[in-house]
Amino acid sequence: MLQPKRTKFRKQHKGRIHGEAKGGFNLNFGSYALKAIEPERVTARQIEAARRAITRHMKRQGRVWIRIFPDVPVSSKPTEVRMGKGKGSVDYWAARVHPGRIMFEIDGVNDAIAREALRLGAQKLPVLTRIVAREDW
């Protein structure tokens, strides 16, 4: 699963996901892409599950690019632990996804396979998405 090799600080504040994507909203690599249309945190496990669903449907033809990286540490305290005693340990890593952000791109397969692969990948994600193609640009 994806996670940073090292970070400046171990834990972060929760923060909020405001506004549209500042970058990463254009098709740069492939012909088809999965674009987020709502703000959400996507975990490393969800990214990996979506990647597996996409590559399985493509039967390992073509190429897949992952355009998001989980760099936000999300901490949680264990179950049945009382309040206080500091912040919990890092539980998982997540990526903040803004509306308009391209999350996955694929190329090297025909239109029907590409759209179905991205649809299957989108089912694994907690974000409302849209499939975009280079022809639509």
- Considering the entire predicted model, what is its pTM? 0.95
Q: How far is it, in rounded angstroms, from Cα 35 to Cα 26?
A: 9
Q: Using CA atoms in the order 11, 17, 20, 23, what is the torsion angle rounded to 10 degrees?
A: 10
pLDDT tens column, 4-59:
999 999 999 999 999 999 999 999 999 999 999 999 999 999 999 999 999 999 99
Residue boundaries of the structural domains of the chain: 30-73+90-131
The CA-based angle 118-55-116, given to 5 degrees, is 30
The CATH architecture to which 30-73+90-131 belongs is Alpha-Beta Complex (3.90)
